[in-house]
Structure formats: structure tokens, C-alpha cells
Amino acid sequence: MSHLVIASSEADAAAAASVQQHHAEMAGALAVATQRLLTAASHGDAPAAVAARDELVAWCRTELVPHAAAEEEALYPAARGRDAGRLLVDGMLAEHSLIKDLVEEVAAAQDPVRAAAAGAALRAVFDSHLAKENELVLPLLVGAPDVWVAELLAGMHEVLGGEPVASVGAEEHAHGEHSCGCGEVDSPGYPELDARVVPHAIRHATIFGALDAVRPGGGLVLVAPHDPLPMLAQLEQRSPGAFAVDYLERGPQAWRLRLVRRTA
């Protein structure tokens, strides 16, 4: 479920929302990468499993692990300096170590099933870890009058050397309509993302993170609780013409869509 964060300033409230959006995008990307590995392993496709494993490990080493290191340097010291945060941060650091160990376990796995199992464990730990950051660490920081989360995020930006976390998810305000044709009724081999279980506040960011992880020629099956026309409009504004969209199921309990990234 979504979590309300009470901030001591408008800037920190915006910063906290941006962190949560960024977390959602990372969770979506990891979901696709681990599901791709699981699908290849379950089909007994060893070459595809090796490729999926290597892509998962590469993403973790270039995105997930550096993000964790930046949090340890920029965010966690401020949280640990508060009475309520010391044990919490100790636990978060222990989970960072576990996450890194699981990444290396995936990398070292020669058997596709073992790699997929380690990948599934990595996703479960990471999802739980992000929930704690959103619901425990961020509220602790933004509620403190002597802590400026926006400045801490600027420090993370300096550590990562990339786009500021606060810029992630800026497309969330777009609305409109999108025209899609109907397609086939099955999409073998495509990972599936069930958006119905994702909190509404971060649902679109999670979907966009998952779609960012889709390679040209690859696809994703999205399961939504309603016809996701606003999300499709945002996707078209965000990545014009990048995806072909087909409806596989149109309610009433769920809408299933196949989104395939065009190769040109």
C-alpha cells in the first residue's frame, strides 16, 4: 500500500516523492530482468538464460549496486545520526550486503535454474528493502527539521555522477489518449508485470522502469486493473513511437496488453 510521508518543507516533500518514483522504476526494471531469466530457465533455453543472467548482473552492477553505495554515503549517515535511525540503518546496511551477495550468486550460477532462483531471491529482498526505505527511512529524514533531504539527494547525484534522483518520474503529470490495435491472445516468452499489485502512487513509474528494461524487439505483458489509457498516453509522450501495443484481454477483471519495443 502507499505510504504518506510528512515533510518539514515543500522541497523535502518533492524530494521524497522523487526518491519513491525512482525506487519504483528500479523495481520495475528488476522485475523484468528477473522474469526474463526465469522464463528462459523454465523453458530450458540455456543460451537465452545465459544472456538474461548476464543482462541482469550488468544492470545490477551499473544501476542497483551504485545506487546502494550512494545511499550509504549520502542518505544513511543522516538517518543513523538520529536515535530512531541507528538500528534501522544497521539493518538496511546488512540488506545491502545481502543484495550484493545475491548479485554475485546470480553472476556465478552456471545452472539456469540456480541463476533464476538467486534472481528471484534478489528481487524479493530488493522489493522489501525499498519498502523499508520508502516507509521508514524517508519519513525519518523528511520529518526532521534539521535534515534537508533535497541536499542529501544532491549529494547522491554527485556520488552517482548521473541524472539527479529528483528528476526521475517527471513525466507522471501527462494525460491523454492512445490508439492501439487488437492482437493475438498469447505472448510466449515475454515477461509479465502485474500492475494490480503495485501501489497506485508508484504504478506508472514501476511500469516505465520495466519498459525501460525491454530491449528492441523484446516485449512485456502488462496486467492492469483497468484500461490503462492515461499510462499509454504518458508512454507515447515519454517515448514516441517506441512501442507497439496490442490488447490481449479487455476486462472486466483485468486488462492484459502486450507492449513490444520496435527495432527502428
Q: What's the mean pLDDT when you consider all of the chain?
A: 83
Examine the pLDDT at 176 and tell me if it is beyond 50: no
Assign 168 a pLDDT band (cuts: 50, 70, 90): very low
pTM above 0.85, yes or no: no
Interval 243-253 mean pLDDT:
94
Examine the pLDDT at 104 and tell me if it is beyond 70: yes
Q: What's the pLDDT tens digit per position in 129-151?
A: 999 998 899 888 887 777 787 78
Can you give the pLDDT at residue 235? 94
* Class of residue 171 by CB neighbours under 10 A (exposed 0-12, middle 13-18, buried 19+): middle
- The answer to whether 205 touches 138, Cβ cutoff 8 Å, is no
Can you give the pLDDT at residue 66? 93
Interval 100-125 mean pLDDT:
97
